[in-house]
Amino acid sequence: MESIPMSSESLRQRGKARRQADIVAAAADLWRARGVGNVSLNQIAAAAEVAPQTVYNLVGGLEAISFAVIELALARLDGVLASSAETGVALALEAARVSAGLYIADPGLYRQLLVRVPQVLFDGTHLGRDLAQITIRAMVQAAAAGEISARIDPDRLGRTIYINYLGALYDWACGDAADADFLRAAEIAVLAPVVACMPPEASASDAGRSGPAARLFALLAPPA
């Protein structure tokens, strides 16, 4: 069977995507090695083997490149969650654990970027999306499953969880929290408001078992 030849437009788009990926990868490598403040756009262009104007045209300036690097972690998170069978509170916990793990796996890069470009954490418009939608979707599912009280607005609860998570992330990025503390705080960011919003009967029955309240109590217990 003969293969269908690729159109010139498709080839151009693939070439553009490849050059964009090369630019972002070159920036990430240079920032890890030298520090974000010690790398110029011209150096990124040279490492990616493109002209500086090509960097501007395909990605943008240094701030835009920073957002593109962070978007790589978010894209990996999207991939994990897309294949996940979890819903509701379990989905929110998985999102917190996976995203924290992605940042922890590359601290030399993400600690720099998240401190230098904090608006990417709080203003999703820079990334073309509302990052709180992950936890909002999880809380909509939690409400439908009876995991949270019917009196609770899932949108507000989801945004509260996201803001809590950002606090844990920023503490880690600033070096004020170790990796293990960040992972613990990321889970607490989800569980504390969820447990507060559980139906009374669910909260009472869960406290001594293995649900959200029991997990929260375990995370908040003093060290052995």
Residue 191, CA atoms < 13 Å, CB-side half-sphere = 24
Kindly tell me the sign of the dihedral angle through the C-alpha atoms of 187, 188, 189, 191.
Answer: positive
C-beta separation of 63 from 119 below 8 A: no
Separation CA 87–CA 93 (nearest Å):
10
For residues 120 and 25, give the distance between their C-alpha atoms in angstroms, rounded to a whole number. 19
Q: What is the pLDDT of residue 159?
A: 96
In this predicted model, what pLDDT tens digit does every residue of 88-128 receive, in sequence order?
999 999 999 999 999 999 999 999 988 876 555 555 545 66
When mean pLDDT is compared across 42-51, 68-77, 152-161, 199-208, the lowest value belongs to 199-208
Model confidence band, residue 34 (pLDDT cutoffs 50, 70, 90): very high
Binning pLDDT at 50, 70 and 90, where does residue 221 land?
A: very high
Instruction: Kindly give, in sequence order, each residue whose CB lies less than 8 Å from that of residue 105, ignoring residues fewer than 6 positions away.
Output: none
pTM listed for this prediction: 0.85
pLDDT in tens, 124-169: 545 667 889 999 999 999 999 999 999 999 999 999 999 999 999 9
Mean pLDDT of 8-24: 85
Sketch the domain layout of the chain as residue ranges.
8-60, 69-220
Confidence label for 204 from pLDDT (cuts 50, 70 and 90): low
pLDDT at 1: 46
Q: How confident is the model at residue 4 (pLDDT cuts 50, 70, 90)?
A: low
Question: What's the CATH architecture for 8-60?
Answer: Orthogonal Bundle (1.10)
